[in-house]
Amino acid sequence: MERRRSGHHRINSYFCRTSSTILFRRTFFLVLLFTTTTNALVKIPKNKTVPAVIVFGDSIVDAGNNDDMITEARCDYAPYGIDFDGGVATGRFSNGKVPGDIVAEELGIKPNIPAYRDPNLKPEDLLTGVTFASGGAGYVPLTTKIAGGIPLPQQLKYFEEYIKKLKGMVGEERTKFIIKNSLFVVICGSNDIVNNFFALPPVQLHYTVASFTALMADNARSFAQTLYGYGARRILVFGAPPIGCVPSQRTVAGGPTRDCVARFNDASKLFNTKLSANIDVLSRTLRDPTIIYIDIYSPLLDLILNPHQYGFKVANKGCCGTGLIEVTALCNNYTASVCPIRSDYVFWDSFHPTEKAYRIIVAKLLDRYLNRFF
């Protein structure tokens, strides 16, 4: 009988120690959650909080998720990241920070949003947000398959993994709170238009521009609805940019004078119209206006058409190399020089904007849309 009590005592002691360890860890991570902040530039009501920024999409918001993959859609080498912290090429498709980083910084959450697949990711990084985005991703499965990136369904699987890790760190209730109050950013669609529909004649045999953009918009709506199902209640779904005006597309399809490609821009606008309508219908169906369509087309086009108003000198070429075609592998330290003053350029390479351009756009968008959540 005494042995049984002794064994029972040891088991109770073990569970007490284990419970204490779990409690300590959760308390430790909760302390981190409330203390890991930077100075906020965007004012949030005192009774509201945004604990994390969680990002999905393509190269515009990828921070290095493709770094260990065999794909053209990666940039973990110089001169990418030349103006990032320490001049390190992290896998961000720009000279410095990308929109996810800037949103987190503006909200006072943390300086950068790390890639979920970063091997150096720390557990405490999960508390304030990560990006699951992958260069080359699109709303249409074939788009991502062409580029060799991480498809949106796989990004969601990583997100499920993320939720499990959060629960292990801070418990079920705090995890629900984080998911409910975090800002979710979804940026995708450009690759579908230029690297799929307009690049592949067989696709144009099966779809018209109207039906293809409808497919994109329907898949985008389903993605947003899935995030809502996970408990997300602050979801920003970005439309497509004026993709016909990015330097590479002007070079390959803009004629001798490298004009903006009207049919590409028209496809972006058509997608945006359908996406905006889909998000509006979804919000009404859910009776919850917590999924918001974001117009990225207009602010970026304004920078491109009126660069001098924003302190830019060049808007039709990238800073890397000739600025006409260099992107990813063609933008490298061996065959491409870099412009000395990055802040003169709207575009870093022939496809992705500079950090300065991103900062201007993000500031405009947060000022216009964020108050809808509060």
Separation CA 290–CA 112 (nearest Å): 24
Is 9 annotated in the active site? Answer: no
Q: In terms of C-beta density within 10 A (0-12 exposed, 13-18 middle, 19 or more buried), how is residue 122 classed? A: exposed
Is 59 annotated in the active site? Answer: yes
Is 352 annotated in the active site? Answer: yes
Catalytic residue among 67, 94, 283, 352: 352
Are 134 and 157 in contact by the 8 Å Cβ rule? The answer is: no
Catalytic residue among 134, 283, 349, 350: 349
Catalytic residue among 58, 59, 125, 350: 59
Separation CA 223–CA 360 (nearest Å): 27
Distances (CA, A) of 362 to 69, 134, 278, 280, 310: 29, 20, 23, 22, 14
Separation CA 349–CA 72 (nearest Å): 15
**Tokens found for residue 84:** 């990032």
- Non-local (6+) Cβ contacts of 207 within 8 A are 197, 215
Are 242 and 271 in contact by the 8 Å Cβ rule? The answer is: no
Cα 217 from chain centroid?
18
Q: Where are the alpha helices (DSSP H) in 114-208?
A: 125-128, 141-147, 152-170, 172-181, 190-191, 201-206
Q: Annotated catalytic sites, by residue?
A: 59, 349, 352
